[in-house]
Amino acid sequence: MAVIDRPFIIDGVTFQSRLIVGTGKYASFEENKQAVIASGAECVTVAVRRVNILDHDSENLLDYIDPNVYKILPNTAGCYTVDEAIRTARLARAAGITNWVKLEVIGDTKTLLPDNEATLEATKVLVKEGFVVFPYVSDDPIMAKKLEDAGAAVVMPLAAPIGSGLGIRNPYNMQLILEAVSIPVIVDAGVGTASDAAMAMELGCDGILMNTAIAGAKNPIQMAEAMNYAVKAGRMAYLAGRMPKKRYAQASSPVEGMIE
């Protein structure tokens, strides 16, 4: 009998899909919308930016990604200090849609790797203010545990640097993180293609957030669908429990009854 999956719940919200997608780098709002639909994602991350007051579009992202249909997860992408990230999170909440925030405090422009120390500090402040915090962090089990202790709702360890598409660089650390914390572990950043997503899910990660892997594909909508399957397949393989690895061959056909 198939192993029944436990529900994927964050802050009391139950998701059927374990995939969270971004909204950056799409050719158009329409392409973005179609990719989100194909991905099966129910949670979508968005950036917080100044309205261009001199020449703003008549259309807005949220005209295409309906906040009544999708759970919107604002992010603090582009923030390099604790203060910037907190300010951005507060503004995001003031927009009136959600108190969830994907917290990013970036360490440098070249690697876009997280400043873990600053991320922990900002997490503490935002949790105190009632935010549901999704911190983006290095694939470090010690830091993941500290974030859990600080009240983070989930931890979001990177697979590889943002936009790199390198896949999970350290599956052993990812497993250590899964053992270290009891909050959901959502891989964030670095997934490049469907097999990367499946691998993360096979390890037992609770979910994946991706943007460039879909938006940067030659056909984003088709890749979104591929990711939908990959996340499901990887999760199911994790639940099914893979066969043990062996160093030598073992025939699966019977030896008995061979034609002589």
Partner 1 sequence: MQIEVNGVKKEVLAGTTIDGLVTELKIVSERVAVELNLSIIARNQFNQVILKEGDRVEIINFVGGGE
Give the catalytic positions in this structure: 102
DSSP track, 201-220: HHHT-SEEEESHHHHTSSSH
Closest distance between partner 1 and the C-beta of residue 52, in Å?
Answer: 8
Question: Rounded distance, CA 197 to CA 16, Å?
Answer: 17
Contact between 210 and partner 1 (CB under 8 A)? yes
Choose, by CB under 8 A, the member of 17, 34, 37, 62 that binds partner 1.
62
Q: Please tell me whether residue 163 binds partner 1 under the rule CB under 8 A.
A: yes
Q: How far apart are CA 86 and CA 153, in angstroms?
A: 16
Burial annotation 110-149 (CB, 10 A radius, 16+ → b, else e) = eebbbbbebbbbbbbbbbeeebbbbbbbbbbbebbbbbbe
Q: Which of 39, 75, 123, 138 binds partner 1 (CB under 8 A)?
A: 75
Q: Is 140 an interacting residue with respect to partner 1 (CB under 8 A)?
A: no
Q: Is 134 in the site for partner 1 (CB under 8 A)?
A: no
Pairing of strands 186-188, 207-210: parallel
* Pairing mode, strands 13-15 and 8-10: antiparallel
Number of residues that bind partner 1 (CB under 8 A): 48
Scan residues 1-60 and list those touching partner 1 (CB under 8 A). Answer: 21-26, 29, 32, 45-54, 56, 60
Instruction: State which of positions 76-105 bind partner 1 (CB under 8 A).
Output: 77-78, 87, 90-97, 104
End-to-end CA separation in angstroms for the chain: 39
What does the alpha-carbon distance between residue 117 and residue 70 come to, in Å, rounded to a whole number? 31
152, 174, 215, 223: which one binds partner 1 (CB under 8 A):
215
- Give the residue with the Cβ less far from partner 1, 29 or 170: 29
What DSSP state is assigned to residue 150?
A: T
Is 221 a binding residue for partner 1 by CB under 8 A? The answer is no
CB of 255 to partner 1, least distance (A): 53
Q: For binding to partner 1 (CB under 8 A), which residues are involved?
A: 21-26, 29, 32, 45-54, 56, 60-62, 72, 74-75, 77-78, 87, 90-97, 104, 112, 136, 162-163, 188-189, 209-212, 215
